[in-house]
Chain A
Amino acid sequence: MVERRPLMDLLAHAVMLMGVLIVAFPLYLAFVASTHTAQDIVQAPMPLLPGSHFWETYKAALFGRDVSVASGAPVARMMWVSLVTALVITFGKITISLLSAFAIVYFRFPLKNFFFWMIFITLMLPVEVRIGPTYQVVSDLGMLNTYAGLTIPLIASATATFLFRQFFLTVPDELVEAARMDGAGPMRFLWDILLPLSKTSIAALFVIQFIYGWNQYLWPLLATTSEDMYPVVIGIKRMIAGGDAGNEWNVVMATALLAMLPPAIVVVLMQKWFVKGLVDTEK
Chain B
Amino acid sequence: MEKRVLFRSTWLPWLLLAPQLLVVLVFFFWPASQALVQSLQLQDTFGSHTEWVGLDNFRRLFNDPLYAASFQTTAFFSVLVAGLGISLSLLLAVFADRIIKGALAYKSLLILPYAVAPAVAAVLWVFMFSPSLGVVSYFLGKLAYDWNHLLNGGQAMALIIMTAVWKQISYNFLFFLAGLQSIPKSLIEAAAIDGARPWRRFWTIQFPLLSPTTFFLLVINVVYAFFDTFAIVDAATMGGPGRETSILVYKVYYDGFKAMDMGGSAAQSVVLMAIVISLTVIQFRYVEKKVQY
Contact = CB atoms under 8 A, between A and B. Distances in A.
A97 interface: yes
Interface residues of B, number: 103
Contact of B198 (A8, A216, A236): A8
A96 B23 contact: yes
Interface in B34-74: 34-35, 38
A236 B123 CA distance: 8
A86 B178 CA distance: 28
Contact of B99 (A9, A186, A236, A240): A9
A205 interface: no
Contacts of A133: 30-32, 34-35, 38, 266, 269
A84 interface: no
A132 B127 contact: no
A177 B83 CA distance: 50
B216 A245 contact: no
Interface size range on A against B: 35 or more
A70 interface: no
A177 B7 CA distance: 10
Contacts, number: 306
Contacts of A87: none
A32 B32 CA distance: 45
Interface string B1-40: 1011111111011101101110110111111101100100
Contacts of B24: 118-119, 122, 156, 158
Interface in A225-256: 233-234, 236-237, 240, 244-245, 249, 252-253, 256
A244 B131 contact: yes
B189 interface: yes
B119 A217 contact: yes
Contact of B27 (A153, A169, A256, A266): A153
10 A-B pairs with least C-beta separation: A133-B34, A215-B117, A217-B231, A133-B31, A103-B16, A263-B115, A107-B13, A100-B20, A156-B27, A134-B31
Interface of B: 1, 3-10, 12-14, 16-17, 19-21, 23-24, 26-32, 34-35, 38, 88, 91-92, 95-96, 98-100, 102, 106-121, 123-128, 130-135, 138-139, 166, 169-171, 174-175, 178, 185, 188-189, 192, 198, 216, 220, 227-228, 230-231, 234-235, 249, 252-253, 256-257, 262, 265-266, 269, 272-273, 276-277, 280, 290
